[in-house]
Structure 1
């Protein structure tokens, strides 16, 4: 087992793969957003978006109120915000992983405001609208301004990478599986309730994950100092020592 002292004595490095993948993903996000901004009512993905909407879009609120879709609905709203902005950072502070807590909070704030809200207002893509003649419906729940990117999907992308970043490499495999399921579920739910076009959800995940990868690279030497500290078992000792 790797101890705290062993982790701290290893030479801290910033993995370049995080930087290059993050930059590539962010470039894809920005290019896509710019292309949609040039024609927000009918971008180059519109045919695919329309086909996906016809395939899986819910036709009533009753369909969208099942436990599975509502789990993802709430996950991107107040319950999810409490978890990611308060509970997880607070826990990291309690167990004396303050570097991880600062990284996690930074990722959430940069992603949700810099990637999501700023892009929404700059691109100004309309959300899916009612088309009763074609049997298509607009958002089945209250939504804010702008469709691209999906804020829920951005949050899912942030969470996928941010949790992986605070875990030691040996414990990441299981999270990648769980996190990927959460991301796919979020893409499905946002398009199922007609809140976003399919491409809005996909690019939202790309934007949130890419921005967080860049922050992971920037914080990596600090995060490595936390990897030897237990995430759960050492909480009681940390509290007693304070």
Structure 2
């Protein structure tokens, strides 16, 4: 685990500035949707993309996107919980708190925005959906988990995989007619902004915690101490 979790130190401005900018990119379309009573200035782009998505439909892509429909929400939230528990076991409790807090904050703000904006979803969704289209909960959950994973891994290839995963989920939600194009952009920006700002607050202590860890799980460390004290390990 100690070789997998290698978060890098970044200057404050590389986290705060893009974090705030991303939240603004999320907030402005939401305000425009409210001001336009569900018909914002960019509605033409949304409807054009939706029409294009219909041309891509096929049984194969229906099956693939059906899987992504489950993975993108329940799967990502579950994975984030498992990651937090694993970090606790590997003696990184503050890092686990960062993972859990990032996921909860992104989820809570997404659900709040859905209620406040109250945008209607596209007609003809291929999957079951709840109320509120802006922003996309699936894209928000996917972005939160994959970005957290990329930050903790600290490697370029993980960042590249995270970006591809987020883009795939954005395309999937519009393919399934579950969201407008602006919904998925908003979901990605909201979650990314939240994670970057959360990492800005947790960064130093998480990096220090990782450096001080010996890479053993809690129970392995306890067993080692018992052996050193001459007690039989259970």
Deviation sequence 1:9-59 (CA, Å, 0-9, x none): xxx886221011101111221122111111242111111111111111379
Say how many residue pairs are matched.
Answer: 217
- 1:240 to partner: Cα distance: 1.2
Classify 1:94/1:113 alpha carbon distance in 2 versus 1 (closer, same or farther; 3 Å): same
Choose from 219, 225, 229 the match for 1:239: 219
Q: Which residue of 1 aligns with 2:145?
A: 159
Which ranges in structure 1 are unaligned for 5 or more consecutive residues? 130-137
Whole-Å separation in 2 of the counterparts to 1:64 and 1:128: 19
Q: TM-score, normalised by structure 2?
A: 0.84
Q: Which residue of 2 aligns with 1:48?
A: 45
Are 2:162 and 1:179 aligned? yes
Whole-Å separation in 2 of the counterparts to 1:14 and 1:220: 10
Choose from 74, 77, 85 the match for 1:78: 74
Deviation sequence 1:140-163 (CA, Å, 0-9, x none): 111111000000111122123211
Whole-Å separation in 2 of the counterparts to 1:83 and 1:58: 33
Are 2:115 and 1:148 aligned? no
Q: TM-score, normalised by structure 1?
A: 0.81
Whole-Å separation in 1 of the counterparts to 2:58 and 2:103: 30
Instruction: Tell me if structure 2 keeps the 8 A contact 1:166–1:223.
Output: no
Classify 1:57/1:225 alpha carbon distance in 2 versus 1 (closer, same or farther; 3 Å): farther
Which ranges in structure 2 are unaligned for 5 or more consecutive residues? 223-234
Whole-Å separation in 1 of the counterparts to 2:43 and 2:212: 48
Instruction: Tell me if structure 2 keeps the 8 A contact 1:64–1:193.
Output: no
Whole-Å separation in 2 of the counterparts to 1:150 and 1:55: 19
SS in 2 for 1:77: helix
Choose from 74, 79, 100 the match for 1:105: 100
Instruction: Tell me if structure 1 keeps the 8 A contact 2:73–2:141.
Output: no
RMSD: 2.6
Choose from 104, 112, 121 the match for 1:127: 121
Q: Which residue of 2 aligns with 1:135?
A: none
SS in 2 for 1:30: helix
